Amino acid sequence: MTQPWYKDIYRRAVVDQHITDANADFLTSFDAEHYVGMIRRSNAQAMFMYAQSVVGQAFYPSKVAPVHANLKGRNLPQEVIDEARRHDLKVVLYMSLVWDTWACRNHDDWKVKDTHGRGIADDISSTATHRAGLCCVNSPYRDYTRDLTREICESFDVEGIRMDMTFWPRPCYCRHCRRRYNEEVGGEIPEIINWEDPRWVAFQRCRERWMAEFAERQTKTALAANPDLSVEHQASSIPHEAGWRFGVDSRLAMQNTYLQGDFYGGTIQGSLVRKLFYNLSPNRPVGFETCVSISLANYTAIKSRGLLEAAASSAIADGCAFIYITSIDPVGTLEPTTFERMGEIWGRTQRYEPHMGGELQQDVAVYYSLNSKCNWADNGKHVEGPGLAASSSHTDAVVGACRALRDQHIPFGVITDTSLDQLSRHKVIILPDVLMMNEEEVSAFRDYVRQGGRLYASRNTSLVTRDGHRQNDFMLADVFGVHFSGETVETFTYLAPVEATDPLFAPATRRHPAGLAESQLIVRPNEDLTTLATITLPYTVPADAITFTSLHNDPPGFRTAMAGIVRNEFGSGSVIYVTSGIERHEHLSGIFLNLVRELCDDFSFEADAPPVVEVTLFDQPDRSRLLANLVNFQDVFPQVPIHDARLRLALEGRKACRAILLPDGEELEFEVNDGMAEIAVPRFETFAMLALEYE
């Protein structure tokens, strides 16, 4: 059986081509030989060629979609495919879903509508949304895209198809959505957000299901036309900061051959999403995309070499393909500098590719509930009203947990509900303020702990069902060893150590406990558990504007006996439950990590390296070796090189034979102490890959 095309394709290129025909010169200088020549200059192995764009026009003689006016009979994708074939380049065709300016401007009935029945893109005060018309997947637009997908997949002989923008730009109240909601749930779609109102939550679950169903229809259409195609839907929407609005959960992932998405956030975002994709993707490698320019809006400004190399190296460290995005000039030309810069970088990084692969070591798994990407602070607000939360409290907690684990070099991964049957792979599982859970999740985590697993859970975890029913008690109350009793009125609170746990909290003390800008849940502990911290409340209620203690802050005043952190033994396992989302707060990351270490302190690796150096470890049993990656990713470039990093790899009963620096194979000295092989990592600027061979 032949290997799928994407299996060893780690270098991929996207040239954005959302070009209108507003000017008669646009795309008239497009030259496939020049185009493919540029892609080759970048050392790319695969490319994404636009068959159709967000503008809505096709770049080939389509019978379904309008054709770009300046083509004059040309078929740009075919020209590129022909040229690419001559150079053994893989080609994936691009098409846009939901975002289609032409369709939106010509079909009022297809538009995503607000609660007043206005097309979202009709708001000409917003140039961005107006340029990109937004179509509803419940409207007849779905048939249009099906026909277009079929035409594209039948017309071209390529490796795959990429469907971009498979998400809800925002909640839609068009007549088609209203009708479906009425048929499937009954009544009108609610306009007031309330995550504890089953009707509102039903709307959200419908949106997720409708989007997954739309994606499935598209995927099936593509595969019916050509079963050998790989199919992708834009996957950056899964962990997107827009949260619940995009209406995407793990079901969308199942409609992909592999996950790939474009990201523009910081280093922790990249690290998190790659680990999420690693576990969520139906196949590997997954793809991490970002633009070569400093932003999509300023495409002539190219990122520095150092930044691009760090981004590309990070992808390698997580076992990912790296995909750069650049933009075509409106007339159809490409600027060589971009491609030369990527060619230079990939010229260096491609030497590591033969060594990639294996199983990522994820001693600690951070659980990301894709159905909890909301914020209860929005409850009671209008769906289009001002003041909606900018982020999801659960996602913030996930990010905070990952950041702390990464910075302290604890092997971690990110899992979702698709991994519930594999929980035993992990030594510790983190449930970071998981806002909504279903019985399947609850039962999986209970069994995990019962059989010896170690669980960290915070705040609202297991208090509300996935369909929006608030419970009287935690669904995991037996596992946590505490029962829900209420919530503090105070929105700035403190956690104070008990005598035995002072070291876990240093430099915070009982007199000066750790403060956090959130309330805490009040819980009733079982008698046989261990309290690790209690809640201290401020002297006065922070919301009281008249009676207060201190101008700038709300000092701790009342030491309560209320449990703030507890440890419970359940079955063969252990649990730490925290009444607040401390992992969200960077200044409390030390306490969070100490709690994780209370649960487990024997990890697959340890590292003495600055927090900006991320370490990942893969086991490659087929090659009898461990593969360690270190990426130096600082905020300012060029970076300060790393001289004195040390790595300790757990042998777990294996015998270490040889340590080498890849890709050149330079042998490194190592020492074995307490079951760990310790290696001094030679000086590196951006990336180091080491292998420890064992028997």
10-49 positions binding other proteins, by CB under 8 A: 16, 18-20, 22-23, 26
| Residues 646/682, Cβ–Cβ less than 8 Å | no
Binding-residue total with other proteins (CB under 8 A) = 74
Residue of 65, 407, 387, 368 lying closest to 240 (CA atoms): 368
Site for other proteins in 92-111 (CB under 8 A): 101
Q: Is 249 exposed, middle or buried (0-12, 13-18, 19+ CB in 10 A)?
A: buried
> Quick check: 639 binds other proteins (CB under 8 A)?
yes
Site for other proteins in 340-369 (CB under 8 A): 341
Shorter beta-carbon distance to other proteins: residue 34 or 450: 34
Task: Give the number of other CB atoms < 10 A from CB of residue 267.
Answer: 18
Cα dihedral: 346, 350, 356, 357 (round 10):
70
Minimal distance, residue 635 CB to other proteins, in Å: 4
Pick one of 6, 492, 577, 670: the residue that binds other proteins (CB under 8 A): 492
Residues 6 or more apart whose CB falls under 8 angstroms from that of 302 comprise 292, 293, 294, 337, 338, 341
Site for other proteins in 372-411 (CB under 8 A): none
Go through the chain and tell me how many residues it has: 695
Shorter beta-carbon distance to other proteins: residue 197 or 329: 329
Coil vs helix vs strand at 589: helix
Encoding tokens for residue 153? 């997949």
d(CA 82, CA 325): 22
> Quick check: 76 binds other proteins (CB under 8 A)?
no
Shorter beta-carbon distance to other proteins: residue 144 or 539: 539
Residues 6 or more apart whose CB falls under 8 angstroms from that of 481 comprise 525, 526, 528, 529, 566, 568, 570, 575, 577
> Quick check: 508 binds other proteins (CB under 8 A)?
yes
Site for other proteins in 111-140 (CB under 8 A): 124, 126-127, 130-132
Please calculate the CA angle 556-557-563 and round it to the nearest 5 degrees: 75
> Quick check: 560 binds other proteins (CB under 8 A)?
no
Minimal distance, residue 54 CB to other proteins, in Å: 5
Q: What are phi and psi of 509, to 5 degrees?
A: -135, 180
Minimal distance, residue 610 CB to other proteins, in Å: 5
> Quick check: 567 binds other proteins (CB under 8 A)?
no
Shorter beta-carbon distance to other proteins: residue 112 or 201: 112
Task: Give the number of other CB atoms < 10 A from CB of residue 175.
Answer: 13
Residue 310's identity, in one-letter code, is: A
Shorter beta-carbon distance to other proteins: residue 55 or 414: 55
Q: Indicate the helix (H) or strand (E) that contains 216.
A: helix 198-225
Lay out the site mask for other proteins across 530-559 (x = CB under 8 A, - = otherwise): ---------xx----xxxxxxxxxxxxx--
Site for other proteins in 588-617 (CB under 8 A): 588, 610-612
> Quick check: 445 binds other proteins (CB under 8 A)?
no
> Quick check: 271 binds other proteins (CB under 8 A)?
no
Minimal distance, residue 163 CB to other proteins, in Å: 16
d(CA 138, CA 178): 10
Minimal distance, residue 517 CB to other proteins, in Å: 7
Pick one of 227, 636, 667, 674: the residue that binds other proteins (CB under 8 A): 636
Shorter beta-carbon distance to other proteins: residue 1 or 22: 22
Shorter beta-carbon distance to other proteins: residue 226 or 491: 491
Minimal distance, residue 552 CB to other proteins, in Å: 4
> Quick check: 69 binds other proteins (CB under 8 A)?
no
> Quick check: 187 binds other proteins (CB under 8 A)?
no
Shorter beta-carbon distance to other proteins: residue 333 or 443: 333
Q: Is 636 exposed, middle or buried (0-12, 13-18, 19+ CB in 10 A)?
A: exposed
Sheet containing 287-291: order of strands: 230-233, 160-164, 90-96, 46-50, 11-16, 321-327, 287-291, 260-262
Shorter beta-carbon distance to other proteins: residue 26 or 288: 26
Lay out the site mask for other proteins across 218-237 (x = CB under 8 A, - = otherwise): --------------------
Minimal distance, residue 571 CB to other proteins, in Å: 36
Minimal distance, residue 512 CB to other proteins, in Å: 4
Minimal distance, residue 502 CB to other proteins, in Å: 12
> Quick check: 54 binds other proteins (CB under 8 A)?
yes
d(CA 55, CA 316): 33
Beta partners for 367? 415
Site for other proteins in 467-486 (CB under 8 A): none
Site for other proteins in 281-340 (CB under 8 A): 294, 296-302, 327, 329-330, 333, 335, 337
Shorter beta-carbon distance to other proteins: residue 450 or 512: 512
| Residues 336/654, Cβ–Cβ less than 8 Å | no
Encoding tokens for residue 665? 């194979």
d(CA 433, CA 582): 9
